[in-house]
Structure 1
Amino acid sequence: MKGLLKSLLVLALLITSMSVAAERVHLGFTVHYTLKSSAFSAKLDRVVVTKVNQNSPAMRAGLFPGDVIELLNGSVVAGASARKLDAEMGAIRAGDTVKMTVLRSGKKVAISMVAGET
């Protein structure tokens, strides 16, 4: 279980500022994960935005703390593996458009941001 928690912390840090090959990609938000786990796997239950950095792509796009990420670039987040989310986030390059659907106060909100370079 400790290894899983460390992995989740690493994923949260990847979302804020990811090293991708020679470039650094910045979206400007952190998340907290809750998991559904079984004997053989752990799947993401909820991915909740906990912090949005000032003057970041996430802030400019209208992402807020408390938003629950439901879709990321068309892929459903709940029920996916943490590895899948990590791979999707790792594929983002500076200048890419990242599209999300978040749940905010019971309503679905579309968010679109352009990944920045740090």
Structure 2
Amino acid sequence: MNGCLKSLVVLALLAFSMSALAGKAHLGFTVHYTLKRSAFDAKLDHVVVTKVKENSPAMRAGLMPGDVIEVLNGAVVSGNSARKLDNEMGAVQPGDTVKMTVLRSGKRIAIRMVAVES
């Protein structure tokens, strides 16, 4: 049973809004993420875009609901802590460029957006 618990992927019912976390900056998208739990910690498994606000930097950059964020500003997302992702997005300031690679329908797509004042 212990081995099962280590490999269990727990759906995190925690959703966070990148726009709310991005300091005083606004990107305009929301994600849900799943976590891989082990005996000692929880690491991000998938980060999936659930909502993109109309006329937001995310929409203008081509981000779409269902996109799975694989790389954020050069760092692979899967396997990192949710806290690291929260901290990175919290440091975004107006005018900062956020780069990501997303997986959409089996294809990797580069996305680049500039944060605006919220």
| TM-score, normalised with respect to structure 2 | 0.86
State the Cα RMSD in Å: 1.4
Residue 20 of structure 2 is matched in structure 1 by 17
**Which blocks of at least 5 consecutive residues in structure 1 are unaligned?**
none
SS in 2 for 1:87: helix
Residue 70 of structure 1 is matched in structure 2 by 70
Flag the 1:89–1:38 CA change in 2: closer, same or farther, 3 A: same
**Following superposition, which runs of at least 4 residues in structure 1 exceed 3 angstroms of deviation?**
none
CA distance in 2, matches of 1:19, 1:75: 17
Q: Judging by fraction of residues, say which structure has more helix.
A: 1
Deviations 1:3-53 (A, max 9, x none): xx58x43xx13x122363xxx210000001011001110000000000000
**Which blocks of at least 5 consecutive residues in structure 2 are unaligned?**
1-11
SS in 2 for 1:83: helix
SS in 2 for 1:17: helix
CA distance in 2, matches of 1:108, 1:27: 20
CA distance in 1, matches of 2:21, 2:77: 19
Task: Report how many aligned residue pairs link the two structures.
Answer: 107
CA distance in 1, matches of 2:26, 2:21: 7
SS in 2 for 1:47: strand
Superposition deviation, residue 106 in structure 1: 0.2
Residue 59 of structure 2 is matched in structure 1 by 59
